[in-house]
Amino acid sequence: MGSPRKEKPDLQKKVHEVAHKPGVYLMRDRFNRVIYVGKARDLRKRVSSYFLPSKLAQADLKTRAMLEATWDFETHIVRSEAESILLEGKLIKEYRPRYNVSFRDDKRFLLVKIDLSEEWPRFRLARFKKDDGARYFGPYPHAGALRQTLNFMRKKFGVLTFGRGSPTERELKSSTYQVPVRLSEIGAEQYRERVAQAIEFLEGKSREMIAALEEQMRKAAEKMDFEKAAELRDMIEDLRDTTKPTRRFVRGSLPSTIDPMADVQELADALRLPHPPRVMECFDISNISTTHVVASMVCFRDGVPDKDNYRRYRVRTVGGQDDFASMAEVVRRRYSRVLLDISETGNRRSESTDANAIVDLSPEHSQENAFDTARRMETYPLSAIRYPQSVVRLPDLIIVDGGKGQLSAACHELQRLGLHDLRIIGLAKEREEIYRPGRALPLRLPMDSGALRLLQRIRDEAHRFANAYHQLLMKKRVEESILDDCPGVSQNRKNLLLRRFGSVNRLRKAGVEEISSTEGIGRKLAEDLHRFLQQH
């Protein structure tokens, strides 16, 4: 007989423990999965309203279904309503709750960008922060307030916004840019002084300016000029919304309630590991279709994502949908590569003080197994102090998304590589059961334990990363299919072109001469193909 079905907990008592403060709340189902994320100015009022009998009676079908599926909730306090908007968006993108609709696209909050390498730097709006040397401010949750603030900066500091390059004739003549002197009467160096003042303002050094506006508002009210006073009041609110310091929330981060290293230690205790698993790697297979079977490997270091060490794979040797064989392939590829890198690093290192001396530390020239060699190489001092992220190392724990089958396939490959002692577990989605090698029965952790939530965060991140790669490949395949409609381009020629140029987008930018230099593509076909791609 199976275990009796757990009764749904009464959440009314828990509601009374919620603070009357701004923040976000997460609704979880009986498997502890996040099914809804919301924000509130007053968490107690908002969350308690969900559990009133009248709320369930009047709720629409979607809300009723969400409440019936809710077995628990958690709240996270922030410092302002603006921060709650930012955190809500981040968490919805991270957890992808099935009852959330907004924020599930890739729309992001606005940033202000200024490139100081330009002769006449301009303040512009951006959605993405790039590694391009420019300065970025934000993100700003209130787009309307931000645009009004940029308008204020144009008038107050005489700085250029939007557009590109040197000021246009229209901008030189505009009265907006005549504070304190005409834009047409100053050079690029004097203009930069204006930019510096505007940057200080965006950095939050705006208290004196806002105080001066408040004084103007008071005087306008005394003169019964209520329209002017209201205009100044709105401007002050916009400036405060924009220049108020706001925390940035990154993937995997929550204010105050998640302690990543505490969760790592709790996981070590639950799995009875000799040391906390500071470096964990998790594998997920995505076989949404048989066209592309892909896999992801995400790395968490000290309980938070280490995105520089993420990896993605196209499964090469498996036909059709076979999760076990796919898992075996990617585990084999991952750790055979790690062992090769460790071996090559070992051959380059020296135990001598002579920088030119070479000592062969690779496993084939010693009596120790691959695991022992790899562990010894990880602690080898050269470069580890100078470049800690560059050290090639094995993880403290491997996590595979799946049950006994996936775990068995991964273990078999690790044994073939000589990595018998590497710690590994499988996490089955349906009941969040943890499978371990040599143990017949799975381990079940409490749904509210930090250890399980850490495993869920890692598993969900691996799933997201695999699906993102799958979508990228499908998009690329759709783009490549345009070549199927071009007369004279056979499958063989299509493969040659894509191998040469890498993508249809690069091929579209190529000239006729460059296309015709590809093997199997004559001048006439190159001209036809070039014309076809420009028209399509």
Q: Which residues contact 525 (CB under 8 A, 6 or more apart)?
A: 488, 489, 493, 516
Predicted pLDDT of residue 233: 76
Record: fold of 486-535: DNA polymerase; domain 1 (1.10.150)
**Contact present, 312 and 282 (Cβ < 8 Å):** no
**146-171 pLDDT, tens per residue?**
888 888 888 878 888 887 888 888 88
**27-48 pLDDT, tens per residue?**
998 888 889 999 888 899 899 8
CATH superfamily of 260-475: UvrC, RNAse H endonuclease domain (3.30.420.340)
Q: Residue 466: exposed, middle, or buried by beta-carbon count in 10 A (0-12, 13-18, 19+)?
A: buried
Query: Could you give the C-alpha distances from 492 to 293, 345, 496, 527, in angstroms and in order?
Result: 23, 40, 6, 18
Q: Which residues contact 246 (CB under 8 A, 6 or more apart)?
A: 80, 82, 83, 86, 139, 140, 141
Predicted pLDDT of residue 204: 67
Residue 380 has pLDDT above 80, yes or no: no
Rounded Cα gap, residues 515 and 521, in angstroms: 7
DSSP assignment letter at 350: -
Question: How many Cβ atoms from other residues are within 10 Å of residue 98's Cβ?
Answer: 15
Q: pLDDT over 90 for what percent of the chain?
A: 20
Q: Which residues contact 411 (CB under 8 A, 6 or more apart)?
A: 424, 437
Rounded Cα gap, residues 381 and 255, in angstroms: 36
Residue 125: beta bridge partners?
Answer: 112
| Structure-block tokens of residue 353 | 């003080």
Q: How many residues does the chain have?
A: 536
Confidence of residue 390 (pLDDT cuts 50, 70, 90): very low
Task: With CA atoms as reference, report the closest residue to 114 among 205, 196, 175.
Answer: 196
Predicted pLDDT of residue 356: 38
Give exposure, 218-254, as e/b (b: 16+ Cβ within 10 Å): eebeeeeeeeebeebbebbebbebbbeebeebeebbb
Rounded Cα gap, residues 119 and 124, in angstroms: 15
Peptide bond into 4 cis (omega under 30): no
Distance between first and last Cα of the chain: 63
**237-248 pLDDT, tens per residue?**
766 665 555 555
**323-367 pLDDT, tens per residue?**
899 999 999 999 999 998 887 766 554 443 343 333 344 444 444
Confidence of residue 475 (pLDDT cuts 50, 70, 90): low
**97-144 pLDDT, tens per residue?**
888 864 444 455 788 888 888 889 999 888 777 878 888 887 777 777
Angle between helices 323-348 and 370-378 (to 10 degrees): 60
- Class for domain 12-95, per CATH? alpha beta
Rounded Cα gap, residues 310 and 299, in angstroms: 6
Rounded Cα gap, residues 43 and 25, in angstroms: 8
Predicted pLDDT of residue 254: 54
Predicted pLDDT of residue 203: 74
Average pLDDT over all residues of the chain: 78
Residue 262 has pLDDT above 80, yes or no: yes
Rounded Cα gap, residues 257 and 13, in angstroms: 20
The torsion angles phi and psi of 295, rounded to 5 degrees, stand at -140, 160
| Structure-block tokens of residue 239 | 């400036």
Angle between helices 143-157 and 226-243 (to 10 degrees): 110
Q: Measured on CA atoms in the order 436, 442, 443, 446, is the torsion positive or negative?
A: positive
Place of tokens 């100053």: 186
Q: pLDDT over 70 for what percent of the chain?
A: 77
CA angle, corner 129, sides to 124 and 132, nearest 5?
85
Residue 194 has pLDDT above 70, yes or no: yes
Rounded Cα gap, residues 94 and 248, in angstroms: 15
Confidence of residue 267 (pLDDT cuts 50, 70, 90): very high
Average pLDDT over residues 68-72: 89
Torsion of CA 413, 417, 420, 425, to 10 degrees: -40
Rounded Cα gap, residues 323 and 402, in angstroms: 9
Domain layout of the chain by residue ranges? 12-95, 110-243, 260-475, 486-535
Least confident of 58-62, 293-297, 462-466: 58-62
| Structure-block tokens of residue 521 | 């593509």
